[in-house]
């Protein structure tokens, strides 16, 4: 398993984010993260969860406003499941449903400060967001959500969009979760469930950092399964 190097993080410092000279370095980071996602995909399959893996852009481009702020690789619904969604929604909405990044994803990402494992619901993946909101509106669903959050390894935090408020997963309670979901609006907001590893810790851990990230990503599978909506 590849280790993280100091230069991996330096490539995403603000003054280098739009510098094409760092494309080759960012490509090497992209490959490291994709390898972690691919490993996680294999292990998830053995646990009965079929996923596809993708990786984000490593070079400045119109899609990222010509600035690579972070590098990411992620797991999403399999092609088969995305096609099923698209067929259900029809031509008007089907394109979003079939797009690999407009989904609930389990990802590994790196910027100049941290490398992290996360589950995120894309704002446009409103089908999953609404599914989760309906589930937690019922007492049994809220209990399941809280149980799943508390079962995660220490350090996971639930956040909404770009809001600063943090809800620690291992301290989840019904009152705070009701507060969260009263504000959370699928179609408008990201849902983030994140575990961060500061760059200095990732460097010190060597090859163990990769295993830390994969283990963190796999721990999100029960939450992922709870969120997914099926036609």
Read off the pLDDT of residues 101-132 as tens digits, 9 standing for 90 and up. 999 999 999 999 999 999 999 999 999 999 99
Q: Of 189, 188, 147, nearest to 170 (Cα)?
A: 147
Percent of the chain with pLDDT over 90: 86
Question: How far does the chain reach from its first CA to its final CA, in angstroms?
Answer: 38
Which pair of tokens denotes residue 172? 């989840």
Which of 13-17, 173-177, 223-227 is least confident? 13-17
CATH 3.30.930.20 fits 6-227, yes or no: yes
Task: Confirm if 209 and 115 have CB atoms less than 8 A apart.
Answer: yes
Single pTM value for the model: 0.95
Domain boundaries, the chain: 6-227
Phi, psi values for residue 158, rounded to 5°: -95, 130
Whether 50 has a pLDDT exceeding 90, the answer reads yes
* Backbone angle region of 137, left / alpha / beta, with phi > 0 → left and psi within -120 to 50 → alpha: alpha
Helices (H), 109-220: 126-136, 139-150, 174-183, 199-205, 208-219
The pLDDT confidence band at residue 95, using thresholds 50, 70 and 90, is confident
The residue that leads in pLDDT, 71 or 62, is: 71
pLDDT (tens digit per residue) in 131-165: 999 999 999 999 999 999 999 999 999 999 999 99
Those residues whose C-beta lies under 8 Å from the C-beta of residue 175, and which sit 6 or more positions away, are: none
The reported pLDDT for the residue numbered 63 is: 67
HSE toward the beta carbon, residue 92, CA cutoff 13 A: 0
């Amino acid at each position: 398993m590849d280790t993280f190097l100091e230069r991996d993080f330096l490539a995403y410092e603000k003054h280098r984010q739009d510098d094409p000279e760092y494309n080759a370095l960012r490509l090497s980071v992209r490959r490291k993260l994709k390898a972690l996602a691919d490993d996680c995909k294999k292990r998830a399959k053995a646990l009965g969860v079929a996923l596809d893996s993708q990786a984000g852009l490593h070079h400045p481009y119109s899609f990222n406003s010509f600035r690579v702020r972070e590098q990411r690789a992620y797991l999403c619904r399999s092609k088969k499941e995305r096609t099923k969604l698209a067929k259900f929604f029809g031509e008007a909405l089907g394109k979003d449903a079939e797009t690999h990044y407009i989904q609930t994803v389990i990802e590994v990402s790196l910027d100049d400060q941290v490398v992290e494992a996360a589950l995120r619901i894309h704002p446009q993946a409103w089908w999953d967001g609404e599914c989760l909101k309906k589930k937690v509106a019922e007492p049994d669903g809220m209990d399941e959500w809280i149980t799943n959050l508390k079962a995660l390894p220490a350090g996971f935090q639930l956040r909404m969009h770009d809001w600063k408020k943090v809800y620690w997963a291992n301290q989840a309670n019904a009152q705070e979760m009701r507060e969260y979901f009263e504000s959370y609006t699928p179609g408008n907001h990201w849902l983030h469930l994140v575990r961060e590893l500061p760059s200095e810790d990732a460097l010190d851990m060597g090859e163990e950092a990769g295993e830390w990230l994969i283990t963190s990503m796999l721990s999100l599978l029960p939450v992922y399964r709870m969120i997914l909506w099926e036609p």
